[in-house]
Amino acid sequence: MNPPEAPERGWKAEIARRLEQGDGLEFTLAQFAQAVGTAAEDEALREFLDQAIESGGLKKIEAFRCPMPECKKVLSPAGAPYSACPYCLTDYREEGVEVITETFYQLAGETSRDIRWMIVVHGMNSRAKWQEEFSWQIANRLRYSAPVLIYKYGWVTIDVLVCWLHRKLAKRLGERMRIAIAQAEASQRPPRPDIIAHSFGTHLLSMVLTNPDFEDLKFGRVITAGSVIRPDFDWDSLIENGRVEAVLNHVGGKDKPVQVAQFAIPGTGPGGRVGYTARTTINVCAPTFKHSDFFLPENLRAQIADGGLWHNFLTHPLEHFTPEGRLVPVSWKRAPLVIRSATRGLGYAVFAMFAPFSWLRRRLDP
Ligand SMILES: [Zn+2]
C-alpha cells in the first residue's frame, strides 16, 4: 500500500513537469484528473488544486462551452452571456438548451519556445563529420524546420597565437551574423538566432559580444561547449542589457585543451572546465567528456533529441530549468602575467617562424 500522501506527490510532479516543459499550462479538472490517473470527482484532487490557487501558482478561469454535441467549442468568457453560439450559430433559446459552464485551470508559467534558427560557430579546423551530422540531426529531430548557419572561417593553425588575427576573424563573424539577421528579418523569422559555439569559436563569439561595432546584434539562447572564454566573462551584463537571452555552458570534465588556452591564446580562459562565474549563466558538467566529445555523433544526437540537455535548454522555460550535473564554479584567477607573457612570447616566436607556412596551407586547403 502506498502511504496516503503518495497521490499528491504524483500530482505535484505533474504540475512541475508541465511548468518545466512549458506545455499543458491550461487544463480542465477532467483533463488533469485523466493525466494523473484519477477521477474528476476525486475530492482530494479538487482540494489540492484549490490549495495551489491559494498559494498563487494556479488560476481558475470560468469559461463556457457550446452544449451542441457536434460543436462543443469553448466560448471565451469575454463574450458572455451567450444566447447563440458564435461557431455553430445555434440559438440556445430556440433549441431549449443552456451554455455549459466549465472551469479551467491555468498555471502561472512561461510557455515552451521554438528554436527559430541557429548559428553554429565551430572550433579550429573542425571540418569534421559533425557539421553534416549536426544539420541532419537538427532537421530530423526537431519538430519544426529551423535553418542552421554553420559559420566557417577556414583553416586556422598557429594563427590562434596572435591577437590581431582574432580581431579580424571576429569582425568577419560579426559581419556575417549581421547579414544573416537581416535575412532572417526579411523572411519574417525572429531576429535573434540561437547560438552554438565550440572551442575557438567561443572566443570569437565573446569578441563579437564585446565589440562596440556589433552592439546592434542580439542573440537568443547561447550554448558554449569546450569553451575557451574566461570564467569571469561578464555574461550578466550582456543578459541584463538584452544582448543575450540566456547562456548554457556545457563543461567537459576531461577537457584538457581549454585549460592551457590562456597560455597560448591571449584573452582566453578555461570556461569550458571551470565554468562561468556569472550568476545568470547555467553551467552543466559532463564528467567524462573530452574537448570535442560534445560533437561525436552519438553525443550530439543525445543533446538534440527530445529531453536532451541542449534541446531542453533551447525550448523549455528557464524559470524551472534544473538540469542534472549543474556546476557552481568557484572563483577563478588568471595565471600570473609573467607566465602568460613568457608562454605567449614563445607563441609569437612560433608564429613568426611558421606564419608563411600557415598562409600557404590556407591557400592550398581552404
Ligand atoms: Zn456551437
Q: How far is the CA of 61 from the centre of ligand 1 (A)?
A: 20
Q: What is the tally of structural domains in the chain?
A: 2
Boundary-marking domain end, from 59, 86, 107: 107
pLDDT digits (tens, 9 = 90+) for 8-67: 899 999 998 898 888 888 898 889 999 999 998 999 999 999 999 998 889 988 888 999
Q: What is the tens place of the pLDDT at every residue in 271-298?
A: 999 999 999 999 999 999 998 888 888 8
36 plus 133 within the same structural domain: no
Average pLDDT of span 172-178 = 94
Structural domain that includes position 340: 118-360
329 in a domain, yes or no?
Answer: yes
Q: Is the pLDDT of residue 123 over 80?
A: no
Does 69 sit behind a cis peptide bond, omega within 30 degrees of 0 on the bond before it? Answer: no
Q: Which CATH number goes with the domain that contains 142?
A: 3.40.50.1820
Domain's final residue, options 107, 134, 163: 107
Q: How far apart are CA 171 and CA 215, in angstroms?
A: 12
Residue 194 carries which side chain, given as an amino acid letter?
D
Give the separation between CA 7 and CA 47, rounded to whole angstroms. 13
Q: Are residues 126 and 270 in the same domain?
A: yes
At residue 238, does pLDDT exceed 80? yes
Going from the Cα of 70 to the center of ligand 1, the distance in angstroms, rounded, reads 8
Rounded to the nearest angstrom, the distance between the alpha carbon of 82 and the centre of ligand 1 is 10
- In this predicted structure, the answer to whether residue 345 has a pLDDT above a threshold of 80 is no
Report the alpha-carbon distance of residue 281 to residue 274 in Å, rounded.
Answer: 13
pLDDT per residue over 348-363, tens digit each? 555 555 555 555 555 5
Structural domain includes residue 275: yes
Residues 35 and 55 in one domain: yes
| Judgement on whether residues 160 and 96 belong to the same structural domain of the protein | no
The cell for 361 is: 596551407
pLDDT tens track for 91-107: 999 999 999 988 889 89
Same domain, 150 and 90: no
94 C-alpha to ligand 1 centroid (Å): 13
Same domain, yes or no: 246 and 350: yes
Is 112 part of a structural domain of the chain? no
Give per-residue pLDDT as tens, 293-316: 888 888 988 898 888 999 999 988
Place of cell 494556479: 58
pLDDT value, residue 2: 47
Domain contains 1: no
Same domain flag for 94 and 229: no
Q: Specify whether 58 is located in the same domain as 156.
A: no
Whether residue 132 sits in one domain with residue 223: yes
- Is the separation of the CB atoms in 252 and 283 below 8 Å? no
Biggest CA–CA distance in the chain, Å, is 94
Q: Is residue 230 part of a domain?
A: yes
Residue found by looking up cell 582566453 in the block: 268
Å from CA of 65 to ligand 1 middle: 8
Are 325 and 222 within one domain?
yes
Please measure the distance between the N-terminal and C-terminal CA atoms of the chain and give it in whole angstroms: 68
| 103 backbone dihedrals φ, ψ, rounded to 5° | -95, 130
Q: What is the pLDDT of residue 85?
A: 93
Show which of 75, 107, 139 is a domain's final residue: 107
Q: How far is the CA of 108 from the centre of ligand 1 (A)?
A: 29
Confidence of residue 366 (pLDDT cuts 50, 70, 90): very low
- Rounded to 10 deg, the angle between the 163-186 and 200-210 helix axes is 70
The mean per-residue pLDDT over the stretch 213-232 comes to 96
Q: How far apart are CA 298 and CA 293, in angstroms?
A: 9
Q: Cell 598557429, residue?
A: 158
| pLDDT band, very low/low/confident/very high, at 173 (cuts 50, 70, 90) | very high
Whole-number Å distance, alpha carbon 63 to ligand 1 midpoint, is 14
Residue 347's pLDDT band (boundaries 50, 70, 90)?
Answer: low
**Is 366 domain-assigned?**
no
Which residue has better confidence, 137 or 54? 54
d(CA 92, ligand 1 centre) in Å: 9
pLDDT for 306 equals: 80
Q: What's the pLDDT band for 74 if we cut at 50, 70, 90?
A: confident
Assess whether pLDDT exceeds 90 at residue 322. no
Residues 93 and 145 in one domain: no
Specify whether 90 is located in the same domain as 183: no
